[in-house]
């Protein structure tokens, strides 16, 4: 049962990202900050950390492809970055001890890597002319803070859910 | 065999980078149509998005209405004061319209560059990664939408259709950085209109850039910028915005005007896709005509 609930759950976060940018105006906080929701990758990273083995990378690949086709229309950027970031976090979690604070921090590191990777690729294909200083001050930092808040909210229920999923797959 | 595994991983990484470069190159190659698996995935997710975004729009709209109610009194006062002026303007417009049709009949000129038919559409999604500004709307080729059609809101032009699938389409906003995003525009002034191209968007200032304005003309602040209709796809007279500032361009040969867009690029719910109704001669016909003349 939980196994079949997983794809709709991730699809929900996939659509939530788009709804977030549609409804939250860019001037909601003072200043010229660009807030980018990374709910989907947050959930995929938590799935990598707490869920069954290899699920994170697999879902990263699948939803990276859908994300590129539906939202960005440049196939390849998130198709590579989602599974890559999930894999890096998977390796990191093997080295570090598994507690909730570490998991949240690793997810933030993953999102930072994703943002940096996407920035570099967009500079390479000439889709942006934002300088690195402006990028890090106006986009990276506010984005990380916002996604940190999101992860802190969802980490506990998702941890419970994914751990039960592992148990139900084992039995 | 740790050495072997290391190599295997390296090979996977290299192969995936090659595939990645090929895929990005393929998507940036300026293709006019998406492949059918892409169209299928886009339409399917579009359906799910519609199912989710309709109730969300409803809820957000409800809170928006509550907020509006608080301002009703002051707004009503202000609107009443402008009502008298409106009545005068309307009668004037009627007169001018009548004049225009009569004069057109005399000249036997049936279609104008400014004639268009709008098609209503609702926004069901937006690109969350904010590098390219794309909207997803719920009308597609089945509703007669084709690539490159202009998209407007009540306040002015916001972008053009980038790709159209059977049931959904993507709209590229004017604020997204794309060298191929270029619109032939016109600055209205008392004597003679000034022509140029809307090319690019200044992210920090939040202003559009209108380039290639001849350096010898004088452009003033607060002049209105509209689409010129010379590009072929866009009809004439779609409002783009107002001039804020004029600076000489890089080499001083032309001028660049900063234009404040009339429409907001965020919080867009309903849009209109514009179909130009004046007939566009086919390129082939024009070439044939020339041959006959010779």
Q: Tell if the CB–CB gap between B53 and A78 is shorter than 8 Å.
A: no
Q: Which of chain B's residues have a Cβ under 8 Å away from the Cβ of A121?
A: 24
> Is residue B294 scored above 50 in pLDDT?
no
Give pLDDT tens digits for A57-96. Answer: 999 999 999 999 999 888 889 999 999 999 999 999 888 8
Asked if B135 and B168 touch (Cβ cutoff 8 Å), the reply is: no
* pLDDT per residue as tens digits for the range A126-156: 888 888 998 998 889 999 999 999 999 999 9
Mean pLDDT value across residues A110-119: 95
Is the distance from CB of B151 to CB of B159 less than 8 angstroms?
Answer: yes
* Dihedral (Cα; B51, B52, B57, B63), 10-degree rounding: 140
What is the nearest CA distance from A82 to chain B, expressed in angstroms?
13
Q: What is the mean pLDDT of chain A?
A: 89
Neighbouring residues of B29: CB distance < 8 A, sequence distance ≥ 6 = none
In chain B, the domains with their CATH numbers are 182-261 (2.40.10.350)
Q: Does A29 touch chain B (CB under 8 A)?
A: no
Lowest mean pLDDT among A44-53, B221-230, B272-281: B272-281
A58 in Cβ contact with B37 (< 8 Å): no
The model's confidence at residue B293, banded by pLDDT at 50, 70 and 90, is very low
- Residues 6 or more apart from B260 whose CB is under 8 A from it? B206, B207, B208, B241, B242, B243, B244
Here the ipTM equals 0.86
B48 vs A11: CB contact, 8 Å cut-off?
Answer: yes
Tell me the per-residue pLDDT of B5-52, one tens digit each, with 9 for 90 and over: 568 888 888 898 899 889 888 888 877 788 888 899 999 999 998 888
Residues in B closer than 8 angstroms to A11, CB to CB, are 48
Give me the pLDDT at residue A31, please.
63
Secondary structure of B46-85 as H, E, C letters: HHHHHHHHHHHHHHHHHHHHHHHHHHHHHHHHHHHHHHHH
What's the whole-number average pLDDT of chain B?
Answer: 84
Residue contact A26–B60, C-beta within 8 A: no
CA distance B247 to B257: 6
Nearest chain A residue to B169 by CA distance is: A70
Please indicate whether, in this complex, the C-beta atoms of A75 and B163 are within 8 angstroms of each other: no
Do residues A49 and A161 touch, judged by C-beta distance below 8 A? Answer: no
Among candidates B49, B177, B267 on the partner chain, residue whose Cβ is nearest the Cβ of A127: B177
- Supply φ then ψ for residue B255, to 5 degrees: -115, 155
Q: A19 at the B interface (CB within 8 A)?
A: yes
* DSSP strand pairing (B169-173 vs B207-214): unpaired
Cα–Cα distance, B248 to B149 (Å, whole number): 31
- The pLDDT, as a whole number, for residue B110 is 66
* H/E segment holding residue A43: helix A39-50
- The answer to whether the Cβ–Cβ distance between A127 and B60 falls below 8 Å is no
| pLDDT, mean of residues B163-174 | 91
Contact criterion met (CB < 8 Å) for B130 and A75:
no
- Contact list in B for residue A114 (CB cut-off 8 A) is none
Residue B28 tokens, joined: 């940036």
Tokens (6 digits) for B281: 């001669």
**Domain boundaries along the sequence of chain A:** 2-10+36-170
For A65, the token pair is: 């492809």
At B181 the pLDDT is 76
To test the contact with chain A by mutation, choose from B40, B129, B133, B175 the residue with the greatest count of A C-beta atoms within 10 A, namely B129
């Amino acid at each position: 049962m939980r196994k079949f609930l997983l794809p709709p759950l991730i699809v929900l976060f996939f659509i939530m990202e788009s709804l977030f940018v549609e409804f939250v105006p860019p001037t909601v906080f003072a200043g010229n900050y660009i807030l980018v929701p990374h709910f989907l990758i947050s959930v995929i990273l938590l799935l990598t950390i707490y869920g069954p083995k290899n699920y994170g990378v697999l879902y990263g690949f699948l939803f990276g492809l859908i994300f590129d086709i539906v939202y960005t229309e440049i196939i390849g950027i998130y198709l590579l970055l989602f599974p890559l970031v999930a894999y890096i976090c998977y390796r990191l979690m093997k080295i570090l001890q598994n507690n909730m604070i570490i998991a949240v921090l690793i997810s933030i590191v993953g999102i930072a890597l994703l943002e940096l990777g996407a920035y570099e690729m967009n500079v390479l294909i000439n889709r942006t002319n934002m300088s690195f200083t402006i990028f890090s001050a106006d986009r990276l930092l506010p984005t990380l803070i916002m996604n940190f808040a999101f992860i802190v909210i969802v980490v506990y229920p998702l941890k419970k859910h994914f751990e039960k999923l592992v148990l139900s797959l084992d039995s | 065999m740790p050495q072997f595994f290391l190599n295997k991983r390296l090979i996977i990484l290299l192969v995936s980078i090659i595939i990645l470069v090929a895929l990005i190159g393929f998507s940036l190659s300026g293709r006019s149509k998406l492949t059918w698996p892409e169209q299928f995935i886009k339409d399917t997710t579009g359906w799910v998005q519609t199912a989710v975004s309709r109730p969300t729009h409803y809820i957000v709209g409800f809170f928006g209405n509550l907020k509006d109610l608080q301002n009703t009194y002051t707004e009503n006062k202000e609107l009443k004061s402008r009502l008298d002026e409106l009545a005068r303007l309307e009668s004037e417009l009627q007169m001018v319209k009548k004049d225009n049709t009569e004069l057109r009949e005399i000249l036997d000129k049936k279609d104008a560059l400014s004639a268009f038919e709008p098609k209503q559409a609702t926004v069901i999604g937006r690109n969350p990664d904010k590098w390219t500004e794309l909207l997803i709307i719920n009308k597609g080729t089945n509703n007669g939408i084709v690539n490159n059609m202009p998209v407007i809101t009540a306040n002015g032009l916001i972008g053009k259709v980038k790709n159209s699938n059977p049931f959904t389409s993507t709209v590229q906003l004017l604020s997204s950085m794309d060298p191929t995003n270029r619109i032939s525009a016109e600055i209205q002034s008392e004597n003679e209109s000034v022509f140029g191209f809307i090319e690019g968007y200044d992210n920090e200032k939040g202003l559009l850039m209108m380039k290639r304005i001849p350096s010898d003309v004088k452009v003033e602040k607060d002049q209105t910028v509209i689409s010129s209709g010379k590009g072929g796809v866009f009809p004439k007279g779609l409002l783009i915005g107002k001039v804020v500032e004029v600076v000489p361009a890089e080499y001083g040969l032309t001028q660049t005007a900063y234009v404040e867009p009339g429409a907001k690029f965020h919080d867009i719910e309903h849009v209109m896709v514009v179909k130009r109704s004046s007939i566009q001669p086919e390129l082939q016909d024009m070439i044939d005509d020339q041959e006959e003349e010779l």
